[in-house]
Amino acid sequence: MSSSLIAAGIGLAALGFGARYIARTMPKIAKDAEMAMKTGKLPVAGMNAYYKGGFDAKMSKREAGLILGVSPSASPKRVKDAHKRIMLLNHPDRGGSPYLAAKINEAKDYIDNSKT
């Protein structure tokens, strides 16, 4: 009997904490949704480190560095390591996009050729 009362109490406490969490986050969610409707842009809370633009028509040093995640003046070893790491994640044979793989290769070639 007492174990069922304890279980019921724990369940009610969990329900209360869940309801409090929802009540506290609903105004922020509603505010974000309202802002998204007005501006047409979704909020990106935890994605500040990622590049938010598309690709340029012609590759630049800045874009090549952003694609590989290294400085355009990085050492050849660092460029090679970054290229390998990104290609393992985006290779078309493993379900990645052929277009992204081509852009990653183009960025590596651009950085390599700009140093010579």
- Residue 25, pLDDT > 60, answer yes
- Residue 51, pLDDT > 50, answer yes
Output the pLDDT for position 72.
Answer: 82
Output the pLDDT for position 47.
Answer: 46
Quote the CA–CA distance of 90 and 93 in Å, as a whole number.
9
Domains of the chain and CATH, by start:
1-46 (no CATH), 61-115 (1.10.287.110)
Mean pLDDT for 103-107 is 92
pLDDT band at 14 (very low <50, low <70, confident <90, very high): confident
Output the pLDDT for position 84.
Answer: 92
Mean pLDDT for 41-70 is 72
| Global confidence as pTM | 0.54
- Residue 3, pLDDT > 50, answer yes
